[in-house]
Structure formats: structure tokens, C-alpha cells
Amino acid sequence: MQVVAVLGAALGVILFPMTGPGPFILSVGVVILSYACMATGWNFVGGFTGYMSLGHAAYTGLGGYVVALLILRADVPSWPALFLGALLVAAFAVPIGFASLRVRGASFVIVSIALVLILLLVFQSWSDVTGGSNGLRVPRPFGPEVLRPEQHERFYYLHVALLVVMLLAWWAIDRSRFGAGLKAIREDEDKAQSLGVPTFGYKLAVYVISAFFTALAGGMYALWFGFLDPIFQFSILIGSYMVLMSLLGGIRSLFGPALGAFIVGYALEFFKAEFGDTQFHLVALGLLLGIVVLFMPEGILPTLGQLLNRLRPDATSIREQSAEELADKNKAGTGIPGTSSDDGTHDSSDAEASLTGTSGRKE
């Protein structure tokens, strides 16, 4: 069922430009995919560690500006500039992570917001380099012979490829020992540290990975849109959108942020088209966030998964076992975890071994 749904969604995304949408509709598709890449990049931190950063617009904005400056000031070709810019932003995220990840909860949120505001002031004031409030034009990677609708289609598939790479990276981390340590941090950071997980090193590593992918998304958007404005690039709203999209779809799921980006991105473009320059779309998004928090706190995909599990006829809360099975397990010493072993001691170290990497048994 899940495989069929994923394949159907992937087929729909791939075939969308072939259905003949107009240039405006196709550009909306590019915007939604850009949001999906940003939200998935944010989810490396939010989904694995539970740290809610409202300041990831700092890395999307930096990704766009660094790519543009490499092209304009250093004559670096567009595509090498995209990856080099993401690496430079990831390097910049290392000292930021050292400082910000030492605090938790509301303090971390405040630090992340402060980073965006500082960068906004810097890029507005440094007009000789960044263009300031007048903005900065970014050369597009394709020649003038490629018309605007064709540019939309090419960038549509480029965003799809970037999103696939991000999802594969998230999936690989989720199934690794590194991912197990990150999820232990999310559940109880102090307990994870007591079990031997290098919590700060793990948090810093995934924070830098998140900054790298988010910068790639910001750089790709800059190459597509062709113009950068510091007020938009370093907006708190961009970081808030990433959080809302991930929460809506489910921050602990692989496809949750992408699903949330589709819903929120489509809603944003719809309300902007319907109500123009009014702020009604912000009111609508606030109501949407309230509904999600009240009725689907885990997000759409986890909630649907729980509902389907409840509807299965063979779903039970406790696995039924026969007396023979229980007797065989007790004889083998592999019954309920935490029961007494042959020497009368309790062995609970096996549960810790997956995080600490040791067997926990004495020779």
C-alpha cells in the first residue's frame, strides 16, 4: 500500500510538466518543489534531533547570495558555484552550530531567529557587494535561446533530482547508527548522553548537513528566480514555512515535509493569487497550523499510519503467545527483557548496546 502510494506520487510529479500546464502553473510547481527541498533540508535537524530552528532562512539566503557572488565576482560557472556555495555555507554553519547547539528549547529558537536578523542587516547594509535593498541579479545558467517556459521545466526536474538526493540521504541516516543516536537525542538527550552517545558531536554533524542541503535549495532557487532581495531571502517567514510544512506532513517521517510543502505551497500561491498583496494568506496559514496542532500533532502521515494500523483486522495491542512459546523462551533465557538470568543478575545492557556500540556483557 505504501509502496504503491509512493510510486503513484512519484509518477505524478515526473509526468506533471508533460500534461501541458501553462508557464504560470509550471512556475508554481517549481516554487512548491523548492519549498519541499527547503523543508526536507530543515528536517535533518528538526526531525532527527527535535531542535526547532526558525532561522534556517539564514542558510537558504546565504546559499542564494554565495552562489550569486561566486558567479558575478569570481566568474565561477553556475553549477560548480552551486555546490561550492553550499560547501561554504556548511563551513559557516560549523561555528554557528558550536554556539547555538549548546542551548536548548526556547533559547535555541531565539538564537536561530537572531542569526537571520543579523544576516538581514548585514546584507542590507553591505550594498557595495550584495546590492543592498536594490537587490542582486543572478545570471541564469542557460543561454538566451532557452525561453522562460523551458527554463521552468528544466528547473522543475532539477528540483526533483535535488529532492530525491535529500530523501535518500535522510533515509540512509535514519537507518544508520548515527540516526539511532540522533533519535535518542530527540527522545531524551540527557539519557542518551549517559548511555555514551556523543550528543554534541552528533547534533553538530546533522546541523551542518542540514545547512548544506538547505543552502543547495536556496542556491537552486536563486538560479531559477534570477533575483535576490535580502528582505525576502532572510525572512523569518521562510523559516516558519519550513517548520509548518514539516509539522503538517510529519517531522519524523521521510515524506512528511514534502507532503506538507505541497499543501502549504499550493495554499500560499492560491491565496496570493486570490487576495493579491493582502496578508490574508498568513491568517489562513495560522489557522492551518492551529488545526494541525489540535487534531494532528504528529502530522498527516503519522496520523494516517496510526489510523490504518487500528483499522487492520489483525492489529492487536499485545502479541498473543501460547504457553508452549513462553515456556520455550524461558528455558532459552530470552523471555521478557529485564528478567533474571541464570546467575541471578539482571542484564539490561543489550538495550543500550545499539547506541553505545558495546555488547555490555562481561567476559
pLDDT, tens only, 173-187: 999 999 999 999 999
Q: How far is CA 353 from the centre of its chain?
A: 28
Cβ contacts of residue 179 below 8 Å, gap of 6+? 48, 173
Nearest alpha-carbon partner for 225 in 157, 140, 285, 153: 140
Cell of 209: 548537513
At 330, the pLDDT band (50, 70, 90 cuts) reads low
What local confidence, expressed as pLDDT, does residue 233 receive? 92
Q: Checking phi first, is residue 22 left (phi over 0); if not, alpha (psi -120 to 50) or beta?
A: beta
Cell of 44: 535533518
Percentage of the chain beyond pLDDT 70 is 85
> Taking a C-beta distance cutoff of 8 angstroms, is the pair 112, 55 a contact?
yes
Nearest alpha-carbon partner for 208 in 112, 88, 320, 317: 88
What local confidence, expressed as pLDDT, does residue 289 receive? 73
Cβ contacts of residue 244 below 8 Å, gap of 6+? 260, 264, 285, 288, 289, 292
- When pLDDT is averaged across residues 258-278 and rounded to a whole number, the result is 82
> Taking a C-beta distance cutoff of 8 angstroms, is the pair 93, 208 a contact?
yes
Cell of 35: 519549498
What radius of gyration do the chain's Cα atoms show? 24
- When pLDDT is averaged across residues 279-291 and rounded to a whole number, the result is 76
Helix residue ranges per DSSP H, the chain = 2-15, 23-49, 57-74, 78-100, 105-125, 127-130, 148-174, 177-187, 189-194, 199-225, 230-233, 236-249, 256-275, 280-295, 300-311, 323-332, 349-356
pLDDT of 361 over the 70 cut? no
Which residue is associated with the grid cell 550528543?
199
> Taking a C-beta distance cutoff of 8 angstroms, is the pair 86, 208 a contact?
no
Cell of 215: 543552502
What local confidence, expressed as pLDDT, does residue 284 receive? 75
What local confidence, expressed as pLDDT, does residue 362 receive? 41
Mean pLDDT, the chain, whole residue set: 84
Q: What are the tens digits of pLDDT across the range 298-318?
A: 888 887 877 777 776 654 444
Q: What are the tens digits of pLDDT across the range 198-237?
A: 999 999 999 999 999 999 999 999 999 999 999 999 998 8
pLDDT of 320 over the 60 cut? no
Residue type, 153: E
What local confidence, expressed as pLDDT, does residue 229 receive? 92
What local confidence, expressed as pLDDT, does residue 144 receive? 78
Residue type, 256: G
Q: What are the tens digits of pLDDT across the range 342-354?
A: 444 444 444 444 4
Q: Which whole-number Å values give the CA distances from 266 to 66, 95, 263, in the listed order?
A: 28, 36, 5
Nearest alpha-carbon partner for 253 in 59, 56, 39: 39
- Rounded to an integer, what distance in angstroms lies between the CA atom of residue 338 and that of residue 153? 58
What local confidence, expressed as pLDDT, does residue 178 receive? 95
- Rounded to an integer, what distance in angstroms lies between the CA atom of residue 120 and that of residue 99? 19
In b/e form, how buried is each residue of 152-168, taking b as 16+ CB within 10 angstroms?
A: bbbbbebbbebbeebbe
3-state secondary structure of 17: helix
- When pLDDT is averaged across residues 97-110 and rounded to a whole number, the result is 91
- Rounded to an integer, what distance in angstroms lies between the CA atom of residue 112 and that of residue 148? 36
